Amino acid sequence: MSKTIEPKKPQDLTMCESTAQMITKARKDGVELFFDRADAMKPCPIGESSACCKHCSMGPCRLNVNSPYDRVGVCGATIDTIAARNFGRMVAAGTAAHTDHGMAMLELFRDVINGKVIDFSIKDPIKLFEVAESLEIPTEGRDLKSVAMDLYHELERTYTQVEGEIPMVKRVPPKTLERWRAAGIVPRGAMREIMELMHRTAMGVDQDYENITKQISRTALADGWGGSMVSTDISDILFGTPTPVEVEVDMGVLKEDQVNIIVHGHEPILLEAMIIAAADPTLKEMAHNAGAKDINLVGMCCSGLDVMSRHGLPHAGNFSSTEAVLVTGAVDAMTVDIQCIKQDLKKVADHYDTPFITTNYRAMIEGATHIQLDERDPLKCADEIIIKAITRFKSRRNPIQIPRKTARGIHGFSVEYIKYMLGGAFRGSFTPLNENIINGRIRGVAGVVGCTNPRSKQDASHIELVKELIKNDILVLQTGCSQMALAKAGLTGPGAAALAGPGLAEVCETVGMPPVLGMGACVDNSRILIAASEMVRIGGLGDSLADLPVAGCAPEWMSEKAIAIGQYFVASGVYVVFGHTFPITKGTKFEKHLFDDLEKLGFGKWAFASDPKEMARLMIAHIEKKRKILGIDKSRDRVLIDMADRRSLDATA
């Protein structure tokens, strides 16, 4: 680390006050956080623009000369080939992450049905039947177990099928599916698509960026309409489909007088097991005997979002706060499973005497305690973790400092609930949403999702972008770390309607919903795909996903998973803006292909902006463009005239 440069002020690194306080404390305690490393280690400019190829030992070749076309790799690979390969491998990795997670959920489902797992059960049989019916599995007069087993076998094809179409394409609007079939990008099975993409992006294989892009889309679709969607549906079936629940968030949810356990990761299994274990009277008594008032389970990152939407469990923060929360000294154990787990959490945890426990054989960390979660006996692992945490509580040595900040908001907006909210129990449907989009009260719908990143001021772009969108009457759907950024800022409650434009505010008031709807973890972006498909099905907004006045954005993305998500939205027909950086070389044919040509081919397209106001401007412009094509662009004028009329009437009265 450079000794001469002053470290950045905490307020410049994050909008999250709690995290800022903990950055200050960490510096006093001599603990290095990833914010400091991001500051000290500038990103490699060659890698950042995807101009580096290291797929064989004739290289690595770097094409970062004056113009991207000045040079080719030793094998002759052009910048377009190299950038498309690199981009493709990010999509392969991101898709692999979501589909492996989804497959684990599906295996759990199978073991619950066949009685091998007894600690969990099917919580939402209605959803099970609905999903089965959507896949044309007969349900009439059949018992739950046999339908469930058929559903398991059908969904397994999402991963393992080598030929044919994955099951969930039955939910894709027909015109969109037609487009995919014509382009030859309907996914077969995720394993096949990831394998083929890895093959095609190896040295000396596919060297036509347009052809590589097709396989990139096919793989990404196996994520959005495959692995992620199965994960969401199975989690709902096993643990319950979310309905709105009030949740307390931010680091103030840690309690000085309780045994605080942070559960960080992505699969809901451990956290669901921890909830059962923490309610066990024996463990509760053990905690009381240690002087603690209770056992305080707190989620972080995506499994936290997943479980909070179902049980109202408190949530401490997003990706950029996972080290900071340990700096409080108040965490009596941190457990992790898979994905987005920084290796240095172990070191920070050690500094504060916090047991740091890995629980999934896929994601071990050198030096960490590993307690394997066995799905067939999940409470064994959960109990052990709680006992470790109680022991740590008893022997807390260092002073603790918990930021006092908390915020309350409403989360858990599943598609099923949105339908009910809009139309009631008997007429539940998206019709009122479509009507309000057509009449212009709501201009369109935006998905704001994705990570935080220490190279961007934490949460800042998410918050500013969402504020800007709702002010312009755009309904915002959220998942992932973005949802937590808005939750901490107090924008997931009904109070946020005060910041919405007049049309959106009116709809929010009538329906009783906030203008920002939290839908869950990153795999739950599949809920946004289903919501968009419902909008097409209801009618009046075009006949394919590409016709809808919608847009997506991940303003502070960092993970390969985010690129996979962006690509499946683009391939589905959605306009997607990414912030912070974009992993391609500017001024290349591949850039033009992603940012322009794909839309002309009937898909969505990518865009990049670094400033949240600019992101909002791009998204709004796209939504207005789609409204114009649909012939509903004039309706806003009518609304404004109505309001002006009303005002003039008021004035004369």
Task: List interacting residues with ligand SF4 (CB under 6 A).
Answer: 53-56, 58-61, 73-75, 77, 82, 203
CB-based contacts of 3, cutoff 8 Å, min separation 6: none
What is d(CA 73, CA 174) in angstroms, rounded to the nearest whole number?
42
What is d(CA 238, CA 253) in angstroms, rounded to the nearest whole number?
27
What is the SS3 assignment for 408?
strand
What is d(CA 405, CA 19) in angstroms, rounded to the nearest whole number?
10
What is d(CA 137, CA 133) in angstroms, rounded to the nearest whole number?
5
Which of ligand SF4, ligand NFS, none does 104 bind, CB closer than 5 to 8 A by kind? none
Q: What is the dihedral of CA 178, 217, 235, 142, to 10 degrees?
A: 30
Task: Give the range of 380-388, 497-505, 555-563, 584-592 binding ligand NFS by CB under 6 A.
Answer: 555-563
Contact indicator for 570, 576 with CB cutoff of 8 Å: yes
Contact indicator for 594, 584 with CB cutoff of 8 Å: yes
What is d(CA 201, CA 206) in angstroms, rounded to the nearest whole number?
6
Figure out which of the listed residues 244, 314, 480, 515 binds ligand NFS, where binding follows CB under 6 A.
480
Beta carbon nearer to ligand NFS, 373 or 485? 485
What is d(CA 10, CA 74) in angstroms, rounded to the nearest whole number?
45
Beta carbon nearer to ligand NFS, 286 or 522? 522
Question: Which alpha helices (H) appear in 114-227, and where do they start and end?
Answer: 125-134, 144-160, 174-183, 190-200, 209-222
| Interacting residues with ligand NFS between 240 and 299 (CB under 6 A) | 266
Beta carbon nearer to ligand NFS, 446 or 632? 446
One-letter amino acid identity for 262? I
Which of ligand SF4, ligand NFS, none does 522 bind, CB closer than 5 to 8 A by kind? ligand NFS
Look at residues 144, 310, 128 and name the one whose alpha carbon lies nearest to residue 230.
Answer: 128
> What string of DSSP letters covers 269-333?
HHHHHHHHHHT-HHHHHHHHHTT-S-EEEEEEHHHHHHHHHHH---B---GGGHHHHHHTS--SE
Beta carbon nearer to ligand NFS, 262 or 283? 262
351: which DSSP letter?
H
Which of ligand NFS, ligand SF4, none does 77 bind, CB closer than 5 to 8 A by kind? ligand SF4
Helix (H) or strand (E) holding 448: strand 444-448
Task: Give the range of 73-81, 168-176, 390-398, 556-564 binding ligand NFS by CB under 6 A.
Answer: 556-564
Beta carbon nearer to ligand SF4, 61 or 451? 61
CB of 411 to ligand NFS, least distance (A): 15
Strand 606-608 versus strand 444-448 pairing type: unpaired
Figure out which of the listed residues 349, 481, 563, 616 binds ligand NFS, where binding follows CB under 6 A.
481
Beta carbon nearer to ligand NFS, 50 or 478? 478
Which of ligand SF4, ligand NFS, none does 61 bind, CB closer than 5 to 8 A by kind? ligand SF4
CB of 335 to ligand NFS, least distance (A): 15
CB of 59 to ligand SF4, least distance (A): 2
Beta carbon nearer to ligand SF4, 53 or 535? 53
CA atoms within 13 A on the CB side of 286: 19
Figure out which of the listed residues 188, 457, 561, 622 binds ligand NFS, where binding follows CB under 6 A.
561
Figure out which of the listed residues 35, 159, 319, 582 binds ligand NFS, where binding follows CB under 6 A.
319
Beta carbon nearer to ligand SF4, 60 or 494? 60
Q: Which two tokens stand for residue 225?
A: 């309409």
CB of 75 to ligand SF4, least distance (A): 3
CB of 451 to ligand NFS, least distance (A): 3
Beta carbon nearer to ligand SF4, 63 or 172? 63
Contact indicator for 476, 516 with CB cutoff of 8 Å: yes
Question: Which alpha helices (H) appear in 493-610, and where do they start and end?
Answer: 502-511, 525-538, 560-572, 589-592, 598-600
Beta carbon nearer to ligand NFS, 177 or 570? 570
CB of 205 to ligand SF4, least distance (A): 10
Figure out which of the listed residues 166, 302, 491, 496 binds ligand NFS, where binding follows CB under 6 A.
302
Task: Give the range of 161-169, 242-250, 270-278, 559-567 binding ligand NFS by CB under 6 A.
Answer: 559-567
Mask of contacts with ligand NFS, 516-535, x by CB under 6 A? ------x-------------
Figure out which of the listed residues 13, 445, 451, 477 binds ligand NFS, where binding follows CB under 6 A.
451
Is 487 a binding residue for ligand NFS by CB under 6 A? The answer is: no
- Residues of this chain that bind ligand NFS (CB under 6 A): 266, 301-302, 318-319, 339-340, 450-451, 480-481, 522, 559, 561-562
